[in-house]
Amino acid sequence: MLIGYAWRLQIEAEAAGLCTEGASYAGQIRERPNAADVLATLTSADLGILRISDTGC
């Protein structure tokens, strides 16, 4: 990811009901998965994460 460039990631759930309407979601952006420093936090509350359907968040 580069600052200033638009990006998109779609997650598809294998488990039924994971992306239910009205649920809240949060995710963190880190340089590496095991990095201690959090570069950004995305949430459904600030529309950083959007629900698409019952199987797609």
The answer to whether position 54 is within a domain reads yes
- Residue 5 within any structural domain of the chain: no
Question: Looking at the domain assignment, is residue 36 inside a domain?
Answer: yes
Q: Provide the whole-model pTM.
A: 0.57
Measured at the alpha carbon of residue 46, what is the angle toward residues 51 and 5, in degrees to the nearest 5?
85
Using an 8 Å Cβ cutoff, are 9 and 17 in contact? no
pLDDT band at residue 37 under the 50/70/90 scheme: very high
Q: CA 54 to CA 57: how far, in whole Å?
A: 8
Asked, for residue 4, whether it belongs to a domain, the answer is no
Among all chains, which residue has been given the structure tokens 């488990």? Answer: 15
Q: Number of folded domains in the chain? A: 1
Residue type, 9: L
Would residue 28 count as lying in a domain? yes
In a domain? residue 37: yes
Which residues span the domain enclosing 38? Answer: 11-57
33 falls within a domain: yes
pLDDT tens per residue, range 8-28? 777 666 666 667 778 788 888
